[in-house]
Amino acid sequence: MQPNVTSLAGRCGIVFGVASRRSIAWAIAQAWHDAGAKLAFTYQGERLKENVEELVSSFGQDTPMYPCDVTRDEDIARVFEQVGKDFGKLHFLLHSVAYAPKEALEGQFLDTSREAFRVAHDVSAYSLVAMARGAAPLMTEGGSILAMTYHGSVKVVPHYNVMGVAKASLEASVRYLAYDLGPRKIRVNAISAGPVNTLAARGISGFTQMLQHYEERAPLKRNLDPKELGTTGLFLASDMSTATTGQVVYVDCGYEIMGM
């Protein structure tokens, strides 16, 4: 019998970035869970704990949850120490975390302060490097690391500003990490998603027009369904994609191919 390459049964993963039911991380976690994975979750702080607790309880009361502010090395270290104790090993990791101060997402990129630039890169790009370093020793059977990105990394999207620059750094980090971790059979990829109405997205001014713009211009003439991020997340975490690493996979109804 052929092995079931779509199954994640017997494998363990960790998800960074669930804040609400609308979070992209939640869509991907559901797909991983439905494929049989055992999952652990992190939450940013006490403010989000209850939300995340309520959501993950649907995966079973014993689903591990750890607090983690990704700007704190000690939090990241504690998470992986705990994963080692709870699971003993790790097969996949989702980085679905980003932040930039609100004022940096409104005016001109030209006016980005040193501090806003630093914070955006620390939370949205460097954290992937820190997570990969924490996760790799637990990925003894190989693994898949997945990050979420957006097209504002390669093209100018008004108002996306410093977040676009941070996403460019995140995508380059995906490639360098893929090179470093390839010999350990650990793959690193990113999904570049079209707009999805989440808490983070609402921080970008003009987001509603963006949804409309995509619907009009994308070849598929619609916006994506978050479930489609789940299925692509499953593809990239599972044995369906064992020769794919260092890639940015677009899930945007084709918007990215358009020149006009």
Ligand X SMILES: NC(=O)c1ccc[n+]([C@@H]2O[C@H](COP(=O)([O-])OP(=O)(O)OC[C@H]3O[C@@H](n4cnc5c(N)ncnc54)[C@H](O)[C@@H]3O)[C@@H](O)[C@H]2O)c1
The structure tokens 């055992």 sit at: 38
d(C-alpha 246, C-alpha 199), whole Å: 28
Least distance CB 237 / ligand X (angstroms): 16
Closest to ligand X by CB, 115 vs 141, is 115
Least distance CB 4 / ligand X (angstroms): 29
Closest to ligand X by CB, 123 vs 178, is 123
d(C-alpha 179, C-alpha 136), whole Å: 13
Closest to ligand X by CB, 142 vs 203, is 203
176 carries an active-site annotation = no
250 carries an active-site annotation = no
Closest to ligand X by CB, 134 vs 195, is 195
d(C-alpha 17, C-alpha 34), whole Å: 19
Least distance CB 3 / ligand X (angstroms): 31
Residue numbers at the binding site for ligand X (CB under 6 A):
17-20, 23-25, 44, 48, 68-71, 96-99, 123, 148-150, 193, 195-196, 198-201
149: helix, strand or coil: strand
Write the DSSP symbol of residue 105. Answer: G
How many CB atoms are closer than 10 A to CB 240?
Answer: 12
Closest to ligand X by CB, 50 vs 141, is 50
d(C-alpha 136, C-alpha 219), whole Å: 38
d(C-alpha 67, C-alpha 111), whole Å: 33
User: Which residue is catalytic, options 99, 160, 214, 250?
Assistant: 160
CB 248 within 8 A of CB 171: yes
Least distance CB 10 / ligand X (angstroms): 27
CB 209 within 8 A of CB 157: no
Closest to ligand X by CB, 96 vs 241, is 96
How many residues are present in the chain? 260
Q: Count Cβ atoms within 10 A of the Cβ of residue 243 and give its class: 0-12 exposed, 13-18 middle, 19 or more buried.
A: exposed
Least distance CB 136 / ligand X (angstroms): 20
User: Which residue is catalytic, options 150, 214, 250, 255?
Assistant: 150
Taking alpha carbons only, the member of 16, 11, 24, 21 closest to residue 41 is 16
Least distance CB 250 / ligand X (angstroms): 10
- The residues annotated with a catalytic role in the active site are 150, 160
